């Protein structure tokens, strides 16, 4: 009887194994990345992406399935499968009448995600926010189509930027009172999903535009950077507010003048302040600490350049990355905040339209178009400045997608969006293709994952289902 029971249990185990759904794997075809979402009969475009902390990622996209741009969100696991806890066709973050656009999102640090966007449901642009749980549901207290931040004003609200402080959402945006009079507002939404405060940060009769936000690592201040234009002269300003009650932490700081108007890149530095990458009039970096801007380091003084990003390196050092568009070169410089010393940049050739992300291990991953064939390539610089052999190739890096629209591949120039790090040496990279018969565009997801043991590199891509390109690399 005991043998019969054991045999029955073994048979049951085999049956269970046989009926268990197969987990997704990353697929092999760089010509045909799969869509992020099972619903693929409407136009879609990626708005933002974030790592989930477990090797997967969240993707926020606008979808035209109901004849206007609505916002949907999905969660892709590290296996390449869509999270089964989430709606198959994406979680509807906002499906209100009118378009939802220019959306951003940020991890709340407590297992959820904050989302903010411009909303045209009333006919005039307003700023709305939502708060999404890791299981693909909206948090309690959040209306179905989002929480309007400041419903009292009739002025158009645009250009939201957001960060978090102890789980609470810190957000800033600009009000368009007239063509020549934009003001900057800020607000905090607490972890209870209720608005804590709303404040007009800058309200003179001149233009204040292009808000960018960060939490200062030495004081916890909610910092709002913005540009003020007087008599055609653009000056950078910084406001420092207490996230709890909107009180002033430091006086308004005046930064550079005669700015060209490019939005700065801000990076929180724990215990120090924050680092800024700016165009003045060419690219420079500065440490801002305790309400004071320290001496900067100019990275480049002439030519046609664009900022790519600031990324953490080893210890308290950072990477500054920028692109030389005229010569198709991406440059990386390691430096210490507050004590930058000019060094010869690491130059990656034959790259254009570049985006970057941290590799989670002190290095940087770059997604770009290669020159001259405009394929999408990936390359990586380790924390020690070395480019691994697989990535060190003459056309900029290994190809992860080809510009072949007739095969459903990626369009040459419009296929790039900022990638998301998987935190394990790899990234998710995004682009759109025109593979559908009706000509609509859908977003695919690409991943390049460096194996922890260093034996091989997997250049992988895919979406919500089967994904699979794997490249073995000898030691």
- Give the tens place of pLDDT for each residue, 102-125: 999 999 999 999 999 999 999 999
Please give the angle made by the CA atoms of 452, 457 and 460, to the nearest 5 degrees: 110
**Average pLDDT in the 187-208 region?**
92
pLDDT number for residue 367? 83
The answer, yes or no, to whether residue 473 has pLDDT greater than 70, is no
Whose tokens are 């700015």? That residue is 259
The answer, yes or no, to whether residue 195 has pLDDT greater than 60, is yes
| Torsion (CA) 77, 81, 83, 84 in degrees, nearest 10 | -150
Contact partners, residue 386, CB within 8 Å, separation at least 6:
none
pLDDT number for residue 211? 95
Full 3-state SS string of 217-265: CCCCCEEEEEEEEECCEEEEEEEEECCCCCCEEEEEEEEEECCCCCCCE
Nearest Cα residue to 184 out of 231, 241, 143:
241
pLDDT number for residue 110? 94
Contact partners, residue 178, CB within 8 Å, separation at least 6:
none
Please, are residues 374 and 3 in contact by the beta-carbon 8 Å criterion? no
pLDDT number for residue 374? 67
Strands 329-335 and 113-119: unpaired
Q: Is 101 helix (H, G, I), strand (E, B) or coil?
A: strand
The answer, yes or no, to whether residue 99 has pLDDT greater than 50, is yes
Q: Give the integer Cα–Cα distance in Å for 419 and 416.
A: 8
The answer, yes or no, to whether residue 128 has pLDDT greater than 70, is yes
Who has greater pLDDT, 129 or 32?
129
**Average pLDDT in the 197-217 region?**
91
Q: Using pLDDT thresholds of 50, 70 and 90, give the confidence band for residue 299.
A: confident
Question: What pTM does this model have?
Answer: 0.85
The string of DSSP letters for 327-338 reads: TTEEEEEEE-TT
**Average pLDDT in the 156-164 region?**
93
Nearest Cα residue to 130 out of 142, 112, 120:
142
Determine whether 348 is exposed, middle or buried from the number of CB atoms within 10 Å of its CB (0-12, 13-18, 19+): buried
Sign of CA dihedral 450, 456, 459, 463: negative
Contact partners, residue 143, CB within 8 Å, separation at least 6:
none
HSE toward the beta carbon, residue 122, CA cutoff 13 A: 15
Instruction: Please provide residue 57's backbone torsions phi and psi, each rounded to the nearest 5 degrees.
Output: -160, 155
**Average pLDDT in the 74-89 region?**
87
Instruction: Give how far Cα 389 sits from Cα of 282, 329, 394, Å.
Output: 32, 19, 11
- Give the tens place of pLDDT for each residue, 421-468: 877 777 777 665 544 444 444 445 544 433 332 222 333 333 322 222
**Average pLDDT in the 27-56 region?**
72
The answer, yes or no, to whether residue 223 has pLDDT greater than 90, is yes
pLDDT number for residue 76? 84
pLDDT number for residue 314? 85
The string of DSSP letters for 140-202 reads: TT--TT-EES-TT--SEEEEEEEEEETTEEEEEEEEEEETTEEEEEEEEE-TTSSEEEEEEEE
Nearest Cα residue to 419 out of 30, 9, 46:
46
Instruction: Please provide residue 300's backbone torsions phi and psi, each rounded to the nearest 5 degrees.
Output: -155, 145
pLDDT number for residue 306? 87
Q: Using pLDDT thresholds of 50, 70 and 90, give the confidence band for residue 394.
A: low
The answer, yes or no, to whether residue 178 has pLDDT greater than 70, is yes
Nearest Cα residue to 132 out of 178, 180, 83, 181:
83
pLDDT number for residue 395? 63
Nearest Cα residue to 103 out of 134, 163, 132, 62:
62
Q: Give the integer Cα–Cα distance in Å for 142 and 194.
A: 8
Which structure tokens are listed for 396? 């900029």
Q: Give the integer Cα–Cα distance in Å for 43 and 267.
A: 33
The rounded percent of the chain whose pLDDT value lies above 70 is 75
Q: Where are the beta strands (DSSP E) in 344-473?
A: 346-349, 351-358, 364-370, 376-381, 399-401, 417-421, 427-433, 442-450, 457-462, 467-468
The 8-class DSSP code of residue 139 comes to P
The answer, yes or no, to whether residue 232 has pLDDT greater than 60, is yes
- Give the tens place of pLDDT for each residue, 302-331: 677 889 999 999 888 999 999 998 899 999
Instruction: Please provide residue 226's backbone torsions phi and psi, each rounded to the nearest 5 degrees.
Output: -155, 165
pLDDT number for residue 452? 30
Which of 84-93, 201-210, 293-302, 341-350 is modeled with the greatest confidence?
84-93
Who has greater pLDDT, 165 or 150?
165
- Give the tens place of pLDDT for each residue, 369-388: 787 666 777 788 999 999 88
């Amino acid at each position: 009887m005991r043998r019969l029971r054991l045999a029955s249990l073994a048979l049951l185990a085999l049956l269970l194994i046989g009926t268990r759904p197969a987990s997704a794997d990353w697929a092999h075809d760089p010509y045909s990345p799969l869509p992020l979402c099972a619903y693929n009969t409407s136009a879609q475009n990626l708005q933002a992406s974030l790592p989930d902390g477990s090797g997967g990622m969240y993707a926020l996209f606008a979808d035209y399935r109901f004849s206007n741009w609505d916002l949907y969100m999905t969660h892709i696991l590290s296996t390449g499968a869509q999270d089964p806890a989430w709606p198959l066709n994406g979680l509807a973050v906002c499906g209100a009448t009118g378009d939802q656009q220019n959306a951003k999102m940020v991890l709340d640090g407590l297992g959820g995600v904050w989302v903010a966007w411009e909303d045209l449901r009333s006919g005039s642009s307003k700023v709305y926010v939502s708060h999404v749980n890791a299981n693909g549901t909206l948090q309690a207290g959040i209306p179905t189509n989002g929480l309007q931040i400041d419903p009292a004003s009739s002025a158009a609200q645009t250009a939201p930027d957001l960060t978090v402080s102890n789980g609470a959402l810190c957000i800033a945006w600009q009000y368009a009172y007239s063509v020549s009079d934009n003001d900057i507002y800020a607000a905090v939404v607490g972890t209870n999903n209720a608005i804590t405060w709303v404040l007009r940060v800058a309200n003179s009769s001149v233009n204040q535009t292009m808000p960018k936000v960060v939490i200062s690592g030495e004081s916890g201040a909610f910092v709002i950077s913005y540009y003020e234009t007087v008599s055609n002269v653009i000056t950078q300003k910084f406001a420092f507010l207490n996230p709890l009650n909107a009180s002033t932490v430091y006086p308004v700081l005046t930064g550079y003048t005669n700015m060209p108007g490019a939005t700065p890149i801000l990076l929180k530095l724990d215990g120090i302040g924050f680092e800024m990458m700016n165009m003045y009039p060419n690219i420079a970096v500065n440490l801002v600490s305790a309400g004071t801007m320290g001496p900067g380091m100019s990275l480049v003084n002439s030519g046609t350049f664009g900022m790519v990003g600031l990324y953490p390196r080893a210890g308290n050092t950072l990477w500054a990355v920028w692109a030389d568009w005229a010569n198709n070169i991406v440059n990386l410089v390691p430096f210490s905040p507050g004590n930058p010393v000019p060094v010869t940049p690491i130059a990656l050739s034959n790259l254009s339209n570049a985006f970057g992300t941290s590799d989670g291990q002190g290095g940087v991953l770059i997604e770009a178009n290669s020159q001259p064939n405009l394929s999408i390539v990936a390359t990586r610089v380790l924390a020690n400045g070395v480019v691994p052999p697989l990535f060190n190739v003459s056309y900029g890096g290994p190809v992860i997608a080809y510009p072949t629209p007739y095969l459903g591949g990626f369009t040459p120039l419009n296929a790039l969006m900022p990638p998301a790090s998987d935190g394990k040496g790899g990234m998710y990279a995004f682009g759109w293709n025109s593979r559908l018969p009706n000509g609509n565009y859908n977003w695919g997801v690409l991943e390049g994952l460096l194996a922890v043991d260093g034996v091989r590199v997997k250049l992988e891509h895919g979406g919500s289902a089967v994904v699979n390109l794997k490249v073995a690399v000898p030691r």
